[in-house]
A and B are shown apart, each in its own frame.
Chain A
Amino acid sequence: MTNILEVQNLVKNYGDFQAVKGVSFNIQEGEIFSLLGPNGAGKTTTISMLSTLYEPTSGDATVAGYSVKKNPMGVRNAIGVVPQDLALYEDLTAKENLIFWGQMYNLSGKALSSRVDEVLEQIGLTDKAKNKVKTFSGGMKRRVNIGVGLLHKPKLLFMDEPTVGIDPQSRRAILDTVKDLNKKGMTVLYTTHYMEEAEELSDRVGIIDHGKLIAIGTQKELTKQVGETETLILHVSENEDPSALVSVLKGLPNVIVANVVNNEISISTPSAKDVLVSVVTKANERGIKIHSIDIREPNLEAVFLHLTGRALRD
Chain B
Amino acid sequence: MLKTFLIGLKDLKIAFRDRAAIIFMLLTPFLLTIGMGLVTGRFSSNDNSGALNIPIVIVNLDNDSLGDALVEVFSSEELADLLDTTTSEDAEATRLLVDKDETTAAIIIPAGFTQNIFSENINQNVQIEFYANPSRPTSAGIVKTILDGFMARVDEMRVGAITSIAQLMISGRISSEQANTVGEEMGTRLKNNQTDLNESLIRLNTSINQAETNEVDALAYIAPGMALMFLMYTVSYGGRSILAEKARGTLPRLLTTPTNSMQILGGKVFGIFLTGTVQMLILIGATTLLFQLQWGDMLGVVLLVFAAVFGATGWGLLITAFAQSPNQVGSVGSAVMLIFSIMGGSFIQIDNLPGFVQTLSKITPNAWALDGFTSLAFGGTIASLTTPIFALLTMGILLFLISAFLFGRKNLVQK
Q: Interface SS of chain A: helix, strand, loop or mixed? A: loop
Interface positions of B from 1 to 52, Cβ below 8 Å from A: 3, 6, 10, 13-14, 17-18
Q: A73–B413 contact, CB under 8 A?
A: no
Q: B256–A92 contact, CB under 8 A?
A: no
Q: Which of B6, B14, B258 contacts A73 (CB 8 A)?
A: B258
Given contacts A87-B249, A88-B250, A89-B14, contact A100 B256 (CB under 8 A): no
Cα A79 to Cα B256 with chains together (Å): 8
Interface positions of B from 218 to 267, Cβ below 8 Å from A: 248-250, 252-260
Q: Which of A79, A86, A103 contacts B6 (CB 8 A)?
A: A103
Nearest A residue to B267, CB-CB: A104
* A-side interface residues, number (CB < 8 Å): 25
In angstroms, how far is the closest chain A Cβ from the Cβ of B351? 43
Nearest A residue to B252, CB-CB: A53
What sequence of 0s and 1s flags, for each residue 66-88 of chain B, a beta carbon within 8 Å of any chain A beta carbon? Answer: 00000000000000000000000
Residues of A within 8 A of B254 (CB): 104
Cα A90 to Cα B190 with chains together (Å): 80
Q: A76 at interface (Cβ–Cβ under 8 A)?
A: yes
Interface positions of B from 175 to 201, Cβ below 8 Å from A: none
Q: A126 at interface (Cβ–Cβ under 8 A)?
A: no
Q: B253–A87 contact, CB under 8 A?
A: yes
Given contacts A54-B413, A100-B6, A103-B3, contact A81 B256 (CB under 8 A): yes
Given contacts A76-B258, A104-B3, A105-B258, contact A87 B248 (CB under 8 A): yes
Residues of A within 8 A of B6 (CB): 100, 103-104
Residues of B within 8 A of A106 (CB): 258
What sequence of 0s and 1s flags, for each residue 98-134 of chain A, a beta carbon within 8 Å of any chain B beta carbon? Answer: 0011011110000000000000000000000000000
In angstroms, how far is the closest chain A Cβ from the Cβ of B204? 60
Residues of A within 8 A of B249 (CB): 83, 85-87
Q: A52–B256 contact, CB under 8 A?
A: yes
Q: A223 at interface (Cβ–Cβ under 8 A)?
A: no
Q: A53–B257 contact, CB under 8 A?
A: no
Cα A88 to Cα B17 with chains together (Å): 15
Nearest A residue to B15, CB-CB: A91
Q: Which of B3, B252, B256 contacts A76 (CB 8 A)?
A: B256
In angstroms, how far is the closest chain A Cβ from the Cβ of B262? 13
Q: A187 at interface (Cβ–Cβ under 8 A)?
A: no
Nearest A residue to B415, CB-CB: A85
Residues of A within 8 A of B14 (CB): 89, 91-92
Q: B259–A89 contact, CB under 8 A?
A: no
Residues of A within 8 A of B256 (CB): 51-53, 76, 79, 81
What sequence of 0s and 1s flags, for each residue 44-55 of chain A, a beta carbon within 8 Å of any chain B beta carbon? Answer: 000000011110
A to B CB contacts below 8 Å, 19 in the list: A53-B255, A53-B413, A54-B413, A73-B258, A73-B260, A76-B256, A76-B257, A81-B253, A83-B253, A86-B249, A87-B252, A88-B250, A89-B10, A89-B14, A91-B18, A92-B10, A92-B13, A104-B254, A148-B253
- Chain A residues with CB under 8 Å of chain B are 51-54, 73, 76-77, 79, 81, 83, 85-89, 91-92, 96, 100-101, 103-106, 148
Supplied contacts A100-B10, A101-B253, 12 more A-B pairs, CB within 8 Å: A53-B256, A76-B256, A76-B258, A87-B249, A91-B17, A92-B13, A92-B14, A92-B17, A100-B6, A105-B257, A106-B258, A148-B253
